[in-house]
Amino acid sequence: MSVKFDTQCLSCGPEAIAQATLLIRAGQVVGVPTETVYGLAADATRPEAVQRIYEAKGRPAHNPLIVHLPASWASLEQLVAKGLVDGTRLGSRERELASLLMQTYWPGPLTLILPRGPALPTSVAAGLPTLGFRVPQHAGFLGLLESCQLPLAAPSANRSNRISPTEAAHVMAELRGRIPLILDGGPAPVGVESTIVAMDRGGALRILRYGGVSREDLESTSGQVVSSLEMNLAQTVLIEAPGMMREHYAPSKPTLLLRPDGLQAFAARIRSLGPLRQIALLSFGQRADLAEGLLPPEASLVECELPLDSKQAAQLLFKTLRDLDSSPADAIVVILPQDLSRELWPAINDRLTRASARWSS
Ligand code: TXA
Ligand code: MG
């Protein structure tokens, strides 16, 4: 796609929202702040607007989008009445559970997979019979959704397979010239994408992508054990969550993970990179000592530490990866904590595993 816009970036106030509304009503694409990561929004009901999202991102057509809704539409009845969700394909237990999750987590970082209704084109769902829906929590994006009175399709506002943007400047760096407008709503407070959950006929919940809502929270809300789609790095594309590419969120520099239980594998991998002059070492809390003796002795180290609190770490994760990727270091080494099972650690682990996938096989 050629450069065609002189991309503007405006603070996300009433005037900017009015301008964004006009663009979206005209079928254009706008960069928007959300509480998770910045998104690339367009009218989900218009195939040509949806097509522009895929073009601006360079996204493969088999990767479905998430549809964002105004807060005033946040009930299953309304989504069915508006033709966005096909209620005839939901059992009674699924309806109950969907309503409970909407009441508990919307607005917020939870995406629910539901049967796609007739008001939404197949392209927004990449041809699937289902689609992800969420009501975001960012006041600026909610203002835009209310102003448009439309469901807005919005993937993360990065070029396909790159690191998701958590600030307006990141969107500019990714998409300058490819979209007309970016709304600047400040740094995204959650910092990783929404948790995506699917329900089966009996109402069993499954996490398709870890994100801003933890598994423990979903379990206490639903009163059931919530399973997850375990990442299978042997596969490039997972059948159930078609967008969950093995290689994703990728920095352009070699990125290796150092897990406390995988020191030897790490040592072999870093040797395979050849001589390194400088390594950026990212750790959570004070675990940088774990790398001692495992890094090439000739390399100088630039250490960077994120908090051991998973919410705080998630908030800064993508910005930190982006900064390290543009630093003079030849490689990025991330030291992971031992226990990644709770809070936002599964989401952080997932993003970092994908970020390093290219250099891990
Ligand atoms: O936090 C978020 O969810 C951000 C902000 C902008 O809202 N959006 C986001 O969108 O992360 P995106 O396009 O980067 O990721 C959407 C993912 C797809 O990759 C796909 O895995 C999943 O949503 N998805 C969408 N529809 C699906 C469906 N019917 N079945 C399974 N997965 C689906
Ligand atoms: Mg994305």
DSSP secondary structure of 31-98: EE--SSS-EEEEETT-HHHHHHHHHHHT--TTSPPEEE--GGG-SHHHHHHTTSB-GGG--HHHHHHH
Q: Residue holding tokens 């479905």?
A: 64
CB distance 40 to ligand 1 below 6 Å:
no
| Predicted local confidence at residue 290, as pLDDT | 83
pLDDT (tens digit per residue) in 19-60 = 999 999 999 999 999 999 999 999 999 999 999 999 999 988
Please give the structure tokens belonging to residue 239.
Answer: 């059948």
Q: What kind and span of H or E run contains 144? A: helix 139-148
What number of CA atoms fall less than 13 Å from residue 173's CA on the CB side?
A: 14
Report the nearest atom of ligand 1 relative to the CA of 130.
Answer: 29
Ligand 1, residues 196, 206, 246, 249: which to mutate, most atoms within 8 A of Cβ? 196
- Residue 245 Cα to ligand 2 midpoint, Å, equals 10
Least confident range from 12-26, 219-233, 251-265: namely 219-233
Report the nearest atom of ligand 1 relative to the CA of 109.
Answer: 1
CB distance 39 to ligand 1 below 6 Å:
yes
Q: Which band of pLDDT confidence, cut at 50, 70 and 90, is reported for residue 175?
A: very high
> 230 pLDDT exceeds 80?
no
Q: Which band of pLDDT confidence, cut at 50, 70 and 90, is reported for residue 291?
A: confident
CB 348 within 8 A of CB 321: no
If 0-12 CB within 10 Å is exposed, 13-18 middle and 19+ buried, where does residue 267 land? middle
Q: From its phi and psi, is residue 249 left (phi > 0), alpha (psi between -120 and 50) or beta?
A: left
Q: CA 186 → CA 33, 142, 348, distances in Å?
A: 7, 15, 21
| Predicted local confidence at residue 1, as pLDDT | 59
Verify cis geometry, omega within 30 degrees of 0, for the bond prior to 107. yes
Instruction: Determine the Cα angle at 1 with ends 31 and 166, to 5°.
Output: 25
Higher local confidence (pLDDT), 119 or 238? 119
Calpha distance 336→59 (Å, rounded): 30
Please give the structure tokens belonging to residue 226.
Answer: 């919530």
pLDDT (tens digit per residue) in 64-120 = 999 999 999 999 999 999 999 999 999 999 999 999 999 999 999 999 999 999 999
